[in-house]
């Protein structure tokens, strides 16, 4: 994937997580699966590897492990057990993490 395509994909990822933040703020269902992620759709599903994904390039770990996504996914899955505002906080953490990755890799 060339840099221009990666920047477009990054915008889709950030837009998706901005939307998740808005949904969490309104106590609506957020979408955290890799089928909802433009990075996964362009790397994991297409090439069966995370290599090239900006998150993988940041962490060196497959599957977005050890990122705020793990907590967000779990809170979204078990939202009935999450405390007030915890899912919103987790969505913000993931969005800000991805924003930081995008800036650090000159993708926005």
pLDDT value, residue 58: 96
Say if CB 103 and CB 7 are below 8 A apart: no
pLDDT band at 47 (very low <50, low <70, confident <90, very high): low
Quick one: average pLDDT of 10-14?
Answer: 98
Q: Number of folded domains in the chain? A: 1
d(CA 10, CA 53): 10
CB atoms within 10 A of CB 74: 15
pLDDT band at 55 (very low <50, low <70, confident <90, very high): very high
Q: Among candidates 77, 53, 75, which has minimal Cα distance to 64?
A: 53
d(CA 39, CA 69): 13
pLDDT in tens, 19-46: 999 999 998 889 999 899 999 999 987 7
d(CA 97, CA 78): 22
Q: Enter the pTM of the model.
A: 0.91
Domain hosting 47: range is: 3-104
């Amino acid at each position: 994937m060339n840099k221009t395509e990666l920047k477009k994909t990054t915008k889709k990822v950030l837009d998706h997580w901005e939307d998740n933040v808005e949904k969490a703020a309104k106590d609506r269902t957020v979408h955290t699966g890799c089928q909802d992620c433009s990075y996964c759709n362009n790397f994991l599903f297409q090439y069966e590897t995370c290599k090239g994904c900006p998150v993988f390039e940041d962490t060196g770990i497959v599957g977005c492990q050890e990122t705020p996504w793990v907590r967000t996914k779990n809170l979204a899955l078990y939202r009935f057990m999450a405390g007030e505002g915890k899912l919103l906080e987790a969505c913000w953490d993931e969005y800000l993490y991805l924003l930081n990755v995008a800036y650090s890799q000159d993708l926005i």
